[in-house]
Amino acid sequence: MIIKPVKRLLGEITVPGDKSISHRAVMIAAIARGKTRVANIQDSDDCNYTVRAFKEMGIKIYEKGGVTIVEGKGLKGLEKPDSSLFVGSSGTTMRILSGILAGQGFEVTVVGDEQLSARPMKRIAGPLSEMGAGVGLKDGEYSPITIKGGRLDPIDYTLPVPSAQVKSAILFAGLYAKGATSVTEDFKSRDHTERMLKYFGAAIKVKGLKVSVTGVGELKARPVDVPGDISSAGFFMAAATLLKGSKIRINGVGINPTRAGIINVLKRMGADIKILNKKNVFEPVADIVVESRITRGVTIKAKEIPTLIDELPVIFVVAALSKGRTVIEGAAELRVKETDRIRSMLENLEAMGVKMKVVGDDIVIDGVRGLKGARLKSFGDHRTCMAMAVAALAANGESEIDDVSCVSKSFPGFFDVLEKIACK
């Protein structure tokens, strides 16, 4: 795709339903009792793989009146699929689903594509094995992952690296164990699982950085309205901040504190962001208004990373056009996403004239006055692709991104929404 710079962004938009919450809504509804109505579920490759996996395990999931209906059969209601479950490149599906499969009465293999097969899965195999599940991995580290479910014992587990996906897998497995299963982390990762399990009736307790769930209870169907995805909104927030004269409004976005790191960091950099019409059901939701501002470099501490891990690529872009130096500490987790996002962003931003260097797990970006148009690579990664599209909008001269099809993983309509509010 050829992307030419634009003058500004103006208008009002919505973004797809939150990907993390959409995954969890389908999963929890499938093991709850009764029909759950899920509104605004994200229609993306990743979420569709989750839906397909549960259909293949005997759960009825269908559309009715623009709402997704999930007919849950209870904790033990899943059926052994006819073959392995293919989940594409969705790490969320593979990791969290494994926790549910650990409590079932059958064995199944979950397979990912080439991209997902290079991402670490040992971090979930360890605690699930400790609970009593049979877990097999390729070379002891990578997918495919084979789960042999059965009787589980509760554990008290401390995460070596903060991860909402690993935490969620353990908590889901804890639903099937007699007694309290707890997870402790150094920094608080996103808490969608805790919120939604509690909403569906699970015995969840949160005390500081420790979360526990007591099994074996029963979950009851509840209506779910998925808020807009803040990770998707982040690209537009960044673009509106950078492009002089811009003003946009993004309606109905989830502003969960464990996900709102991008708002906090952009404000610290000088961005003009207003939060309006805040409301709360099981997740806080609001409208976000962003106007352009000159930004400055900041230091982002390691403890902030879990709250903005998916938004870091586009924060790199803002940092590149900010006054002074931005330092991002402890960003190693970016290396094990759909691609090594540190490497992909470094290669792309250097092609645009940015001064960026990597020191261990830290990233240092010195702001420049302007970006030059360049040939860019998505590396098959949706967030790298969208971040570089934002950079291209603010560049001097046109840019070319080699493959933009990967945005369908989380935001199939990204370029259509961008076109709607771009003033050329």
Which residues belong to the active site?
A: 310
Nearest in space to 124 (alpha carbons), one of 146, 105, 107: 146
**Complete DSSP assignment for 76-124:** T-----SSPEE-TT-HHHHHHHHHHHTTSSSEEEEE--TTGGGS--HHH
Q: How many CB atoms lie within 10 A of CB 83?
A: 9
366 φ/ψ angles, rounded to the nearest 5 degrees: -100, 125
Nearest in space to 77 (alpha carbons), one of 241, 211, 218: 218
The token pair at 316 is 């790199």
Contact predicate 20/92, CB 8 Å: yes
Question: What stretch of H or E contains 183?
Answer: strand 179-184
Contact predicate 248/236, CB 8 Å: yes
Residues 6+ apart with CB under 8 A from 245: 7, 8, 292
Q: How many CB atoms lie within 10 A of CB 106?
A: 14
